[in-house]
Each structure stands twice: as C-alpha cells, then as structure tokens.
Structure 1
C-alpha cells in the first residue's frame, strides 16, 4: 500500500482527507502537534510529531513516505481570515516559512508528490464575478497572501522527481469528528432556538469532495497536474437555503432569514472537472444537512 503523510490530519478538513484515503486503500500517517485521539479515525493510522516551525529538523517524519498532503495551518481558533490575531509575524513565520521548510524536507527525503491545501482567499475581493485559475491572484488578507506565497514556493520545487499541486479550496462543510461540532452547529442551534439569524451567502464544498480532489492529485498523470493550481468549490448557498432544509427536516416553524444578495464571487471548477472530479452538488448538501439535523435532535 502507498504511504501518505497528511499534516493537520486531525483538523476539520484533514480528517476528511485521512478517511477518504484510508477508504481508497492508502496507508496513512498523520502528522501533528499532539498524539491522535483514541478512535478518532475509522481505521488505524500511524502518527508522527510534526509542527510548522522553520527552524525544526523534521525530515525523519518523511521516512518511507511516498506522498505528502499538507493540510496543517496555524491560526486563531475559528478564524482563517484574521487568524493571525495580534501576531502577524508569528502567523507568517509558521504558515509560510514553516510550510516551505516541510516542502523542502519532503523533497529531500524523496517524496514523489506533494499536495498543498490553499484557499480561494488568494483571489481577494477585487476578483471578477467568476474566478478561474487564470484570474489574477490579488489577496487582500494576510491569510490569502500567505497561502499564495506557499503555493509559489511549492511550484518552484516542481521537477527533479517531485510532482506538486495546490488546491484552492472554498468553504468546507460536513460532519465533524467524534466529540466535535460541525461548522453550522451554532447556526442550527440559533435557528431552532428562535434566535434571529443574519443573511449570509457563500460557496461550499463537502469535505469528502475536497478529499476526492486530493486523491485525484495523487493519482492523475503527472503531466496533467504537476506544478498546477486547481479550484475546489461546489455550490453557492446561504443561510436561507441551509435553514430551509433544516426547517423541512425538523418541522421547526421559525422564520427564515431574508434572501441573500446574489453577487457573491463564484469559482469555476472546470479545470478539475476535466480530470474527472464530480462533487455532490445540492443533493449532497441537502442530504448532509438532514443528517446533521437528525444527529442534533438525538443529542
């Protein structure tokens, strides 16, 4: 079985990647700052200590590793944009310099492929209504700037036996790990409790669909992915649609928030779909909300 190291594998998105790769027959090692919670994954995984520290010698973490998926990111809890808090220098040092150090060590250790989880934030708010991978990258947050710089650093390492790819991921939804809350738990609780809920619109993709995009980067012909960027997004939705599905699933009669504005910037995923990627769309969105609603009612 092919061995894959996933940094940040116990994070919300990382866990989807680990589970998807396990289900696809990969042998997964999770790299992180602390030992794995017991029974956190559906199958046994290995663990190696790994942190975002540009001064740390961590090349041993890549022993016998064939692929590296870099999903780790240090930030203030609950925030990505603005995740630097009051320490922008430390934020940049960890997430840019620390990531570049891991990329370099992976290459030195003989890792064959490296996939980096980037973000739609690299496009910034001045982007056109629909962005594709050829759209200008003009980040207007430190988060977006750090992601873009890490993309560029990884791309520069392409070749000499290393296949690289970066995935610009939008908002990710889905069930959380054991003992953790999903991203809409507060939204659901507020609505079901009769509290007012603000209108909000955004693009979303299920965590398993992100993981499928990661696996595609590991398995596709190198000529089709190496050194390239791919958008990862699925549906444009908002609190009104999300809560209308919740309303139907629970029979709750509270009023829904107002309809959202319709000018939110979307991401074209034609490039990724051309490789065979097929996200779940609105059917998966609705099914996931119904499942999360059922779980909430059983708590």
Structure 2
C-alpha cells in the first residue's frame, strides 16, 4: 500500500508533536514535520523549517495529501503584546490563510485545523453544553482569532474545493503538559490545605491521546469532510474529582477541604480573582454526540487512564 504524506505544523508543540509520533506508527500515513527549530523529531521523519509568525516563505506541499495545522499563537494568561488581537491575528489568521491558500493551490486534499472551544465561549450553564453548531461567542483575543481563522478557511474551501475540517478541543492535558495543569500538580505535592474539596462543577477536558486519535481519524474519514467537531474524553469531571484523581497517583500531600463553594466564590471575588473563579468553580461542557455519530468515534482512553499517565510523567520530571 502506497504511503501518503501528511504535513503537520506546530510539530514541536504539545499537540503537534503527539500527532507526528502517532503518525510514525501508521503504515499508510507518513508525517512531514513543520518546525521552527531543531527538535527531537529530527531524523525520525521528513522535516521543514517554517515560522507561522513570519510566513513570507511557506513550506512546500509537494506530494502532500493532507495538512494538520496545529501551529498557533496560543492563549496566554499574562498578555505582553500592546495589541493582543493584532498579535493573535497575525499568526492565527493571516499565517493560517497564507498556508491554506498555498495548500489548496498545491492540490492538498484536506486541511485539518486545530481550533479551540474558546470559539464557543468560556462558560456553560448546567444542562446546556456547547455544540458545534452553536452561535460562536468568543470573549478574548485568542478565541476571536480562532473564529476568524475558521471562517477564512471555510471560504477558501468553498473557493478551491479543498476539504476543511475544524476541531475545537477544550483543555488538553497529557504527559508533558505545562502551564496551569503542571502548576496544579506541583501544588498537590505540597502540604497545603486546598479549599476545593466540595466543588460540584462539570468540566470537559481531552487527553492528548484521545485528541490525537480523533485528529488522525479525520485525515481520511468521509464523514469529516467540511465538518466542525467538538471533542472531549466523553466524561466530565468536577474540579474536586480532578484533584483527587491526580493526587491518588502523585501521592500528594495537599489536603482537600470541603469548603462551601458559595463561600469560596465570595472570597475569590473579594480578592479580585474573578478569572480564578471561572477556572476553579465554573463549568465548561461540550456535547460530542455529533462527533461520535459522524465518525463512529469514541474516546479510546478514560479520563482516569489519561490522568494517571499525565501524573506519572510529572513525577518522572521531579526526579
């Protein structure tokens, strides 16, 4: 069987690298890694140098069947750019459009765009999870840039016939995860009382192995053509459940105190920590019913399995 080449942008990033490593095990699809600098992928597969932020010289698409576009200017907690929206647009919109137009001109069959659930919004009410066909309601510059990129890609697809697939993941975690998820695991190793033992919110997340499985499924599946998909592990957890699950593997010393949620929210509000209230106490759920129906797909790994792998990698990094 002839192998087909799949170009993966952002191949040094958390999602992109995981996609490349998965494709290296595939007997039909061969990854071509797009990187900004030398990485551990060097020598494992064909690689090209390209920086989405300065996309004057685009990568070549010779014999490329599909593109998985995971490169992006990612959401940051403390924005340093004087005009955050302009900074996100330069990379996430302008760079993506240039890349997609050249891909279409070169005969690429399918373009898979890794977007974000932030296109839908930041919070859901009980019993009202986000759906892929909801009216978009991004609230920050990152989410706005992802929505604008989605809309531009759909237009390019209609103009050129290139198939466009959009995937909007919620929080992605897994071995090697950084940022807030890493800090949360670090806190669990300390002998600190945490007033988060009675939070009854619901959060959709997706383990990196589950996300990659969906992405690879979308490379060829006829049901993915020109569709937008939400993705998750298939079972939502509360903040309290998440912390207990991680602590079980980490052997954490932190004490989870069943502090009344209404009091916790009030304290955080008095301290001016409004964004923390949403991250800790708020709900964000996604409905993946349509994804499962269109692709015959379900997450192959449970949240417990994915969280255990994440925690074990964290422990390894502490040695």
TM-score (norm 2): 0.79
Post-superposition, which runs of at least 4 consecutive aligned residues in structure 1 deviate over 6 A? 259-262
Q: Cα RMSD between the aligned structures?
A: 2.8
Q: 1:14 aligns with which of 10, 13, 16?
A: 16
Q: 1:185 aligns with which of 182, 188, 212?
A: 182
Measured in 2, the distance between the counterparts of 1:4 and 1:111 equals: 9
Deviations 1:235-278 (A, max 9, x none): 42344323322333354443125476876131000111111221
Measured in 2, the distance between the counterparts of 1:218 and 1:230 equals: 13
Please list every run of 5 or more consecutive structure 1 residues that lacks an aligned counterpart in the other structure: none
Contact 2:69/2:112, CA 8 A, preserved across alignment: yes
Contact 1:33/1:49, CA 8 A, preserved across alignment: yes
What are the residue-to-residue correspondences of 1:134-283 with 2, within 5 Å? 134-158=133-157, 160-176=160-176, 184-197=181-194, 199=196, 202-221=203-222, 224-234=223-233, 235-256=235-256, 258=258, 264-274=283-293, 275-279=295-299, 280-283=301-304
Q: 1:32 aligns with which of 27, 35, 40?
A: 35
Count of aligned residue pairs for this structure pair: 286
Deviations 1:176-228 (A, max 9, x none): 2xxx858633222222122354648632101111111111211111xx22222
Measured in 1, the distance between the counterparts of 2:14 and 2:187 equals: 22
Measured in 1, the distance between the counterparts of 2:225 and 2:143 equals: 22
Select the structure that is richer in helix: 2
Contact 1:127/1:136, CA 8 A, preserved across alignment: no
Q: 1:90: which partner in 2?
A: 87
TM-score (norm 1): 0.84
Please list every run of 5 or more consecutive structure 2 residues that lacks an aligned counterpart in the other structure: 262-279
